[in-house]
Amino acid sequence: MGFSSALQGRAAHEALIVRQDAELRLMETMKRSIQLKAKCDREYAIGLAAVAQQGLKTDRADEMQGSLITKAWRSYMDELDHQAKQFKSNAELLEVVCEKLTHLSQDKRKARKAYQEEHAKIAARLNHLTDEVVRKKGEYQKHLEGYKALRTRFEEHYIKSGRGGRKLDDVRDKYQKACRKLHLTHNEYVLSITEAVEVEKDFRTVLLPGLLEHQQSVQESFILLWKNILQETSQHGDLTSDKFKEIQKRIDNVINSINPSEEYREFTEKHKTSPTTPLVFQFDDALIEDIPGKLQSNTLTVDNLTVDWLRSRLIDLEMSVKECQEKQLKMIEQANGGSPIANGSITRNGSTASNGIQSPKDSQNRQSKDLNALRCQEKQKQKLVDMIKCALNEIGCEELPSGCDDHLEQNFIENSFNNDQQMSLSTNRPLYEEEWFHGVLPREEVVRLLNNDGDFLVRETIRNEESQIVLSVCWNGHKHFIVQTTVDGHFRFEGPPFPSIQELIMHQYQSELPVTVKSGAILRRAICRERWELSNDDVVLLEKIGRGNFGDVYKAKLKSTKQDVAVKTCRMTLPDEQKRKFLQEGRILKQYDHPNIVKLIGICVQKQPIMIVMELVPGGSLLNYLRKNSNSLTARQQMGMCRDAAAGMRYLESKNCIHRDLAARNCLVDFENSVKISDFGMSREEEEYIVSDGMKQIPVKWTAPEALNFGKYTSLCDVWSYGILMWEIFSKGDTPYSGMSNSRARERIDAGYRMPTPENTPPEMYRLMLKCWSAEADARPHFDEIYNVVDALIIRLDNSH
C-alpha cells in the first residue's frame, strides 16, 4: 500500500509532516552521536598512541638484549600504534559521514518544504472553487428571492391596472431585469459546479496521488541514502574489519614466536658466573668478653631465667617439625592420587592457590620445589630441636643455676612493678580520648571503615533515649555488639567483666577469644579515627549565623589553630537515618579540593551534637549578597560569578558528583566576589541517580523536567539548575517564575515556556541560559563547554575595555 492511495486524508497529510519532522530530529540526534563517536575514537587513538609510546620506553634496554619477549613486546606496541592510526583514520571518516548526514538533512528539509508548498497549492485551488460554489449558491438564493418578489408584484399590478399604464411598465421592467439576473446567476452556478467537479476529480485522482507518489519516491530515496550513511558509520566502527584482524594477527604471531627455552640463552651466556660462595655465620666472641663465665659462644645457657623459655620454644619447634612432615606427606599423597597439584594447583601454608596458566611440567617442577622447601624447613627446625634437647638433657635432675645476681633480680622486680603501674594509669583516661573510639559516628559510616576480618572500633549509639557503647567488628560481614553493664558497674560481653571498657577491649584483643561464641568474631586490628574526625571540644561555637535542614549553623573557632570556621550542627533528636544524610555532605566534601568548592575541615562525632566543620566564607549566601549589592554589581562581576560556579560544577562533573540542589541560596561569596558551591546535602556520587524515596523537598523551580517527571538525575540536570542560577545572578536575586506556584511553573515549563532575559543581561549569556534549559537533556551543554563559553566572553569583554 503506497502513499498515493493510503495517505490522501488531511490527518494522514499532517501525520506525514510530523513524521518528516521526527526524521529530521533523528538525523540531528544521529549526527551528534556520530560526532561524539568520532571524538571518542580520536581521543582513544591519542590514548592508544600514548600507551604505545610509553610501552616502547624500556629502561636499560641493553640488559634485555636478545630477549624474545622484549622483541614481542616492542612489536606489540608498534601494532598498538597502528591501531591508534586506524582509529584516528576512522574518526576522520566519521566526520565525513557527519557532513553527508548534514547535507542529507538539508536536502530533506528542502524536500519537506517543497511537498508542503505543492500540497498547499493544489489544495488551495480546490478550496477556492469550493468557496466559489458556496458563494454562487448564495447569490442564486438571493436573486431567486428577488425574482419571486418582483414577479408577485408584477402579477398584482397587472390584475389591478389591466394591460396598460406607466406604473405597470415600470414594474414589468424591474421584473424582467430580475429574471435576467436570475438566469445569469443560474448559469454561473452551474458552470462553477461543473468546474469544481472536474477540479475535485483531478485533485483526488491525479494531482494528489501524483504528489504523494512523488513524495513517497523522495522519502524512499532519502531512506536509501540514510541507510548508506549508517552502513558507512558501521564500517568505520567495525573492529572485526580486515584491517583490525591483520593487526591482531601480527600481534598473535609475534607473541607465539616467544620460546621460553630460548628466552634466556643469550643472557645466560653473557652473565655466566662461578657457583655461589658460602656465607659464614659465627658467634662474635667480642660480645661476651666482659661477662664472666656463664655465657659461652655457640652454647645455649640453661638456668632459672631461661629454662621455661627453652622448654616453650622446644614445644613450638617440635610442632613446626610435625607440621612440615604432615604437609610433605599430604603433597606426596595428592601427587600420587591425581590431586589438584597435578592439575595446576598448589597447596601452600595450608591454602590452595589456583594456577591454571601453568603446564603439567611446571606443576611437577613447582611440586618438587615446594617439597624441597618443606624438607629444608624441617631439617632447619630439627637442628634447633636437637640443640635445645641436648642442652636440657645435660642439666638432668640437678637444681637449676641462678641466672642473675641478687641485685639484678631486685631491679627486675622493681621494673615490673613500675610497668604494671604505668599500664593501670593508661586505662584510667576517658574513653573518648582513645583513638579507636569513634563517638556517635552512625552505623553506616562505621561500616565504610571496617574492611577486613578482625577490623574493629568502639562507638556510642542512642537507643530508646539511652546511650549505649557498641563494639563494631568486621567478621563475615559487619557485627555490632552492645557492651553489657553488670550490677556492680563493670563491663562485659560473654566472658569475664572488667572495671573499664578499655580493659574489656584490651582483654578481647590480647586473648584472641571470640566476642561471642555464636559470632566467632575476633579482634585483630583497631581502626583509629580518620584525620578529619575532630573532637567536639576542639571547636568553640561563637554565634548563630543561619539555619539548615538538620540544625543550626554557627560561626566558630578551632582551638588548635584559632581559625574561624563555619559549623553545621545536627539536632540530637533526629533519627539515625537523618543523621546519616547529614554526614553524607561531609563524606562527599572530604575528598574534594577546588577553589570554587567550599572546603571541609572535619566532622565532630565524639559526642552530641554531630557537627560538620567547614571553611568560613565571609560574604555569606550568594542570594543575600546579590540582593544587598544589587545597585553596585556590574555585568563583568556577574559574569565572573557565573564562571566561578561553572568552574566548581565542572570539577564536580569530572568526579561524577550530581549536586541536585544548585541555586544562589546554596552558593557562598568569598573575597572579590568569588563564588563557591556549597550545601551538598542532596548530592550523589553517581553518573546517574534515580530517586527511590519520593520527591519530597525537591526545589521544583530549579529542577530539570526529566528529574521532576521521572526522578532521573544526571549532571545535565545540574546544567538546567545552573541556567536558573545564571538567571538569579543577572536578576540580582529575584525569585524565578515569580508569581507562579510550583505546579503552575512546572506546567508552563512542560508547555515550552522559558523565563525572559533579566534586564541588562548580555545576549550571549541569555542564549547560554536557554541552552541550559533545553527540554532534551542531551541538547544541553556540559559544564566544561559552559565554562569555556563564559570565560571567552569575559576575556572578550576585558579586551574591549
Return binding residues for ATP: 545-553, 568
Cβ atoms of 52 and 80 closer than 8 Å: yes
Q: What are phi and psi of 593, to 5 degrees?
A: -145, 100
Tell me the CA distances in angstroms from 735 to 31, 193, 641, 668, 703, one per residue in order.
38, 63, 18, 18, 14
Q: Kind and range of the H or E element at 469? A: strand 466-474
Which of 395, 26, 52 has its CA nearest to residue 226?
26
Cβ atoms of 310 and 302 closer than 8 Å: yes
Which of 528, 523, 504 has its CA nearest to residue 513?
523
> Rounded to an integer, what is the distance from CA 455 to the centroid of its chain?
28
Cβ atoms of 70 and 254 closer than 8 Å: no
Neighbouring C-alpha atoms within 13 Å toward the C-beta of 788: 5
Of these residues, 41, 81, 644, 661, which one is catalytic? 661
Q: Which residues is 46 bridged to in the sheet?
A: none
CA distance 509 to 129: 102
CA distance 581 to 614: 17
Cβ atoms of 715 and 653 closer than 8 Å: yes
Which residue reads 611440567 in cell numbers? 361
CA distance 12 to 211: 14
**Strands, E, within 428-549: which ranges?**
455-463, 466-474, 478-482, 484-485, 491-492, 525-526, 533-534, 539-547
Amino acid, single-letter form, for residue 688: E
Q: Which residues is 459 bridged to in the sheet?
A: 470
Could you tell me how many helices (H) and strands (E) the chain has, helices first?
Answer: 21, 18
| Residues ≥6 apart with Cβ < 8 Å to 718 | 649, 652, 653, 658, 659, 660, 662, 783
Classify residue 586 as exposed, middle or buried by CB count within 10 Å of its CB (0-12, 13-18, 19+).
Answer: buried
Cβ atoms of 212 and 3 closer than 8 Å: yes
CA distance 528 to 457: 7
Cβ atoms of 115 and 72 closer than 8 Å: no
Amino acid, single-letter form, for residue 718: D
Cβ atoms of 681 and 585 closer than 8 Å: yes
Q: Which residues of 530-561 are buried (b: 16+ CB within 10 A; e: fewer)?
A: eeebbbbebbeeeeeeeeeebbbbbebbbeee
Packing angle of the helix pair 635-654, 783-800 (nearest 10 deg): 150
The three grid cell numbers given for residue 648, joined into one nine-digit string: 566548581
Q: Which residues of 171-205 are buried (b: 16+ CB within 10 A; e: fewer)?
A: beeebeebbebbeebeeebeebeeebeebeeebee
Tally Cβ neighbours within 10 Å of residue 788. Answer: 14
**Is 661 a residue of the active site?**
yes
CA distance 53 to 389: 64
Query: 3-class SS at 388?
Result: helix
Which residue reads 568474631 in cell numbers? 521
Cis peptide before 699 (omega within 30 of 0): no
CA distance 354 to 343: 10
Range list of H helices, 257-359: 260-263, 265-270, 307-336
CA distance 700 to 711: 12
* 342 Rama sector, left if φ>0, alpha if ψ -120 to 50, beta otherwise: alpha
Q: Which residues are catalytic?
A: 661
